[in-house]
Structure 1
Amino acid sequence: MTKNSSINKRIAQNTLLLYLRMLFLMAVSLYTSRIVLNALGVEDFGIYNVVGGIVAMFNVLSGSLSAAISRFITYELGKGNQNSLNKIFSSAVTIQLGLSGIIILLAETLGIWFLNVKMNIPETRMEAANWVFQFSILTFVISLISVPYNASIIAHEKMSAFAYISILEAIGKLSIAYLIVISPIDKLILYAILMCVVAFIIRFTYGNYCKRHFIECSYHFIWDKQLLRQMFSFAGWNFIGASSAILRDQGGNIVINLFCGPAVNAARGIAFQVNNAVNQFVVNFMTALNPQITKSYAVGDKEYMLTLIYQGARLSFYMLLLLSLPILVNTHYILELWLKTVPEHTAFFVQLVLIFALSESISQPLITAMLATGKIRNYQIIVGGLQMLNLPISYILLRLGFFPESVIIVAICISQCCLAARLIMLRGMISISIRNYLQKVYFNIITVGIAAFILPFISAQYITESFISFIVISLIAVICTIISIYFIGCNHQERLFILQKLSTIKAKINNK
C-alpha cells in the first residue's frame, strides 16, 4: 500500500468515527432542543442565545491562539520533531491561562455594562440574564483552557476519543433537558448552571485522556520567549480573521437583538442549531483532513496538499448538500414536526443559514492551507477585513428597516467575496491555480447543486404538506443529489473507483 493510500484510509476511518459520533450527538441535540425551547419559552430561549453570544464575542481573543496552537502541534508532528512538542504544549497552556484572566476581566467590566445598559431584554428577566452571563463566562473559560488538549487529539488523529467521550456528552444533555422540565426553580438560570457543569465534566475527560495517551501533554511552566513570540505573532495576525468571524456571527446576533428583540434571537438560535447539526458532517470531515493538509505542507509535498484541497472542498460541499437539500425543500414541515412552537422568521433563517454554510464549506481546506504556511499577515488583513464588513452593513440595513434575515444574506454575499480573495492570496502563498480551482471545484459544485435542486423544488410546490409527502420529497432530494454528484460531480476515474468499491462490498455480502 502506498503512503498516500494509507493516509487516505486513515482519513476515511477517522471521518467515519466522527460521523458516528455526530449522528449520535445530532439526534440527542435535536431532541433536547425541542424540550429546552418548550421548557424555557421563546423569550428565555432567545435571551440565553443572545447573552451567550456576548460571551462568545470574547472568542475573538482565544480563536486566533487556538488556531496557532493546533497549527504548531500538527506541524511539529508532521516533521517528526518530538522534542519540541512538550515545549509547545506547555507554552500553549500558559498562554491560555493568562488569556483566561484577561477575558474574565473584560467580561466582568465591559460585558456586564453592555448587558445591563445596551441589550434589549425585559426588565423582569434581567436578573436571570446576569446569572446566565456569569455561568457562560465560566463555561467559556473551561473550554479555553482545554484547547491545547483538544488540539493534541486532532494533531495525533485519534478521533476515536471524540467518538467515545460523546456518549458522556449526550448523557449530560439529556439530563439537562429532563431536569429543567421538572425543576421548580428558574429554568433559565438552572439551564446555564447545568450547561457549565457538563462543559466542566467533558473538558476534564478530554484532558485526562490526553495526559494518559500523549507524552507531550504534561504541563510544566515554560517561558520560552522565542517560541511565545512565534506563537503570538502567528496568533496576532490570525486574530483579524478570528475576530471577523465572531463579529459576523455573534455581532449579527446582538444587532438583531437591538432592533428586533429576543423573540427573533430565538428564531435565529433555532436556525443555527439546525445548521450546527447538519454542518457537523463537514466539520468532522475537515477535522480528519486538516492534519494531513498541514503535514503535507510541512514535508514539502505540495502536490498532494493541493489534491487534498480540491477533493476536500468538493466532498465538503457534497456532504452538506446531501443533508441540506431535504431540509431546504421541507423547512416549514420539519420545523412544525420538530417544535411545538415555531418562532416567527425561523423557516427563512434556517434556509438562509444552510445556504451560507454551503457557501463557506468550500473555503475550509483553503483556510487550513493558509494556516499551514504560517505566513498569514497579508491574507488576514485582506480576507479578515472583508469579513468585518458584515457587522456595519447589517447594522445599517436593520436601521433602515430591512427584515432580520438580511443579516444572513449579507453574510452569504461577503462569503463569496472572501472566497475570491482567498484564491488570489493563496496563488502566491502555495502556488494554487485559480483556473484549476474554478474548474475542479467551483463550477463543479454549482452545476451539481442546481441539477440536484430542480426536481425536489418543483415537487415541493405541487405536493400538499404531510408526513408521506415529506418522506417522498426527501427521497427525491437525496436521489437527485446522489445522481448529480455521480454523473456531474465525479470524473471518470472517481466513478470507476466508486464502482470498484461497490463491487467489493457486494462480493463481501454475497460471500456471507
Structure 2
Amino acid sequence: MDTIQSNNKRIAKNTLLLYLRMLFLMAVSLYTSRVVLSALGVEDFGIYNVVGGVVTMFSMLSGSLSAAISRFITFELGKGNLPKLKRIFSSSVTIQIILSAIIILLIETVGVWFLNAKMVIPEVRVEAANWVLQFSAITFVINLISIPYNAAIIAHERMSAFAYISILEALGKLVIAYLITVFPIDRLVFYAILMCAVALMVRLTYGRYCKKHFEECTYHFVFDFALLKRMSGFAGWNFIGASSAVLRDQGGNLVINLFCGPAVNAARGIAFQVNAAINGFVVNFMTALNPQITKQYAMGNRDYMMNLIFKGARFSFYMLLLLSLPILVNTHYVLGLWLKIVPEHTVLFVQLVLVSAMSESMSQPLVTAMLATGKIRNYQIIVGGLQMMNLPVSYLLLRSGMFPEIVFVVAIIISQCCLAARLWMLHSMIGLRVGLYMRRVYANVLVVGVISSILPILQGFTCNESLMNFILSSILSFVCTGLVVYFIGCNNIERQFVITKVSGIKAKFK
C-alpha cells in the first residue's frame, strides 16, 4: 500500500511539473504562432508546414525504434538491471546514428524528388522550399539522436528536467519570433535555420543533463547481437503502428496540399498548433503515467496496472474536455482574437482536430500497456492496418470532390474502430476486461461529455461574440465540466481524494 501511495504521489508530482512546463510553452507557442503567421504570410506558413511534413513522413522509420528504446529502458529500470541498461542505452544511440544516415539519404533522394515533382508550391517559392527541406531534415536528425536521452529522463521520472529545459526552448522560440520580423532576408528560409539552431541547443542540453545524472547515459560503442535482434524485432512490428500514425497525420497534410494547395495547409497547421497546445496537457499526464504502467507490468502487479490504465483513459479525456470545450464553443471568436489572419477552413479544422484528440485520448494507456508486453505482432498488424486506411480513404474522398474537412472526419471514425480493436486484442494479451472498460471508461466519458456540453453550447448559440461573452462561456464550461466530472465521472474514492486535497489547501491558508 505504501508503495502504491508513493507511486501515486510521484505521478501527481511529475504531472504537476509537466503542467507548469506546458502552460509556459503554450503561452509562448500561441504568441509565436501569431507572430510567425503574420511575418511569413499564409502561403509561406503553409509551405513550411507541408515541407516539414515531408520530412516528418520519414519518422515512420524512427518512430518504431523510438518506442522500442523507451520500452526497453523503462522495462530494465523496473527490473533494476544496470549493466543491461547501459548496453541498451549505448545500442540505442548507435541505432539512431545509423538510422539518421539512412533518413538523410532518403530525404536527399525521394524527398527532394517529391518536393520538386509532385507538391503544389508556387514556382517563385520552390527554391526557398528546398532550403526548408534541408534544414528541416537536419532538425529532424538532431531530434532523432536525442530520443535515447529523453527516454532515459522519462524512465527515471525526472520530469523537472523537461520543465527547466523547456524554459530555454521557449526563450529560443521567442527570439526566433522577433528575429524573423527584423532581418531583411527571406523569412521562410531564415525561420527554418533558426528552428534548427534551437533544436541543436536543446539536444546538447538534454545530453549534458543525462550524462551528469544517469550512470547508464555514457555512450560506448556496443554490438550486442542478441539485444539488437530483440529491439529490431520489437521495432519491426511496431513500425506498422508508427507508420500508420504518420500516414494519418502527415499523409493527410500532403493529400490536402495535392488537392487544395498551401493556403489550406496553413489552416491545418494552425489547427494542429491549437491541438498541440491543448493536447499537450494529456501528453504530459501520460508521460508521467506511462513509466508506471510499464514498470508495474515488469514487476507483475497486474491489478494496479489495470487501475492505472482505466484511470489514465478517463482522466485523459476529462482534461481534454475541460480545456477544449470553451474553444469548441467559441472557435471563430478565439481564432479572430488570436490571429491577424484566419485562413479559410481553420474554424472547422480546429473543432474536428480537437474532437479527434478526445477520441484518441482513451486509447493512449492501452497503447502503453501493449508496448509493455513486448508481444506486439498481431496487435500491430490489426490495429496498424486499420489506421493505415486513413490515407487511401482520404485520398479517394478528396479526389471525388469532397471538402477538405473530410480528412479529419475519416480520422475520427477510424480512431473509434482502432479503439475497439485495441480492446479486443488486449483482452487476450493482458486479460483486460472489455465490459468493465466500456462501463468504467467509455460510457462514463460519453455521459460526462454530453452533459458538460449542454449549457455551454446553448449559451454559445444565444449570445453574440464578444470578450465578455467568451469569458462567461469559458467560466460556464469549466464549472459545468468540473461539476459533472466530480459527481458523475469520479468514483467515491476519487471524490474523497479531491475533498482531502482541497481541505489540505484550505488549512494552509488559515
Asked if TM exceeds 0.5, the reply is yes
1:82 aligns with 2:48: no
What is the CA distance between 1:102 and its match in structure 2? Answer: 0.4
2: distance between equivalents of 1:234 and 1:445?
33
1:53 paired residue number: 53
1: distance between equivalents of 2:496 and 2:431?
29
1: distance between equivalents of 2:303 and 2:82?
26
For residues 226-282 of structure 1, the C-alpha deviation after alignment (integer angstroms, 9 at most, x for no partner) is 000000000000000000000000000000000000000000000000000000100
SS in 2 for 1:6: helix
2: distance between equivalents of 1:493 and 1:171?
41
2: distance between equivalents of 1:436 and 1:415?
20
2: distance between equivalents of 1:34 and 1:387?
32
2: distance between equivalents of 1:155 and 1:306?
19
2:10 paired residue number: 10
1:168 paired residue number: 168
RMSD: 0.6
1:119 paired residue number: 119
The count of corresponding residues between Structure 1 and Structure 2 is 510
1:133 aligns with 2:137: no
Q: How does 1:454-465 map to 2 (within 5 A)?
A: 454-465=454-465
1: distance between equivalents of 2:114 and 2:138?
18
For residues 431-482 of structure 1, the C-alpha deviation after alignment (integer angstroms, 9 at most, x for no partner) is 0000010011000000000000111001000101000000001111111100
Gaps of 5+ in 2: none
1: distance between equivalents of 2:298 and 2:467?
52
1:391 paired residue number: 391
What is the CA distance between 1:509 and its match in structure 2? Answer: 1.5
Q: How does 1:105-254 map to 2 (within 5 A)?
A: 105-254=105-254
TM-score by length of 1: 0.99
What is the CA distance between 1:34 and its match in structure 2? Answer: 0.1
SS in 2 for 1:404: coil
1:400 paired residue number: 400
Q: One-letter code of the match for 1:165? A: I
For residues 327-350 of structure 1, the C-alpha deviation after alignment (integer angstroms, 9 at most, x for no partner) is 000100000000011000000000
What is the CA distance between 1:82 and its match in structure 2? Answer: 1.1
What is the CA distance between 1:493 and its match in structure 2? Answer: 2.3
2:509 paired residue number: 509
Stretch moving more, 187-196 or 494-503: 494-503
What is the CA distance between 1:496 and its match in structure 2? Answer: 1.9
What is the CA distance between 1:504 and its match in structure 2? Answer: 1.8
2:432 paired residue number: 432
Structure 1 moving runs of 4+ over 3 Å: none
SS in 1 for 2:509: helix
1:34 paired residue number: 34
1:414 aligns with 2:400: no
1:358 paired residue number: 358
The percentage of counterpart residues that share the same residue type is 71
TM-score by length of 2: 1.00
Q: One-letter code of the match for 2:46? A: G
1:306 paired residue number: 306
1:375 paired residue number: 375
For residues 265-319 of structure 1, the C-alpha deviation after alignment (integer angstroms, 9 at most, x for no partner) is 0000000000000001000000000000000000000000000000010010111
SS in 2 for 1:253: helix
2: distance between equivalents of 1:232 and 1:50?
30
SS in 1 for 2:82: coil
2:329 paired residue number: 329
1:94 paired residue number: 94
Q: One-letter code of the match for 2:69? A: I
Q: One-letter code of the match for 1:247? A: L
What is the CA distance between 1:178 and its match in structure 2? Answer: 0.2
Q: One-letter code of the match for 1:424? A: W
2:63 paired residue number: 63
2: distance between equivalents of 1:138 and 1:160?
27
1:24 aligns with 2:42: no
What is the CA distance between 1:423 and its match in structure 2? Answer: 0.2
For residues 117-161 of structure 1, the C-alpha deviation after alignment (integer angstroms, 9 at most, x for no partner) is 000000000000000000000000000011100000000000000
2: distance between equivalents of 1:492 and 1:208?
45
1:442 paired residue number: 442
1:345 paired residue number: 345
What is the CA distance between 1:492 and its match in structure 2? Answer: 2.0
1:256 aligns with 2:256: yes
What is the CA distance between 1:93 and its match in structure 2? Answer: 0.4
Q: One-letter code of the match for 1:160? A: S
SS in 2 for 1:84: helix
What is the CA distance between 1:503 and its match in structure 2? Answer: 1.5
2:489 paired residue number: 489
1:277 aligns with 2:273: no
Q: One-letter code of the match for 2:88? A: I
2: distance between equivalents of 1:348 and 1:441?
27
2: distance between equivalents of 1:137 and 1:467?
42
1:316 paired residue number: 316
Q: One-letter code of the match for 1:209? A: Y
SS in 2 for 1:342: coil
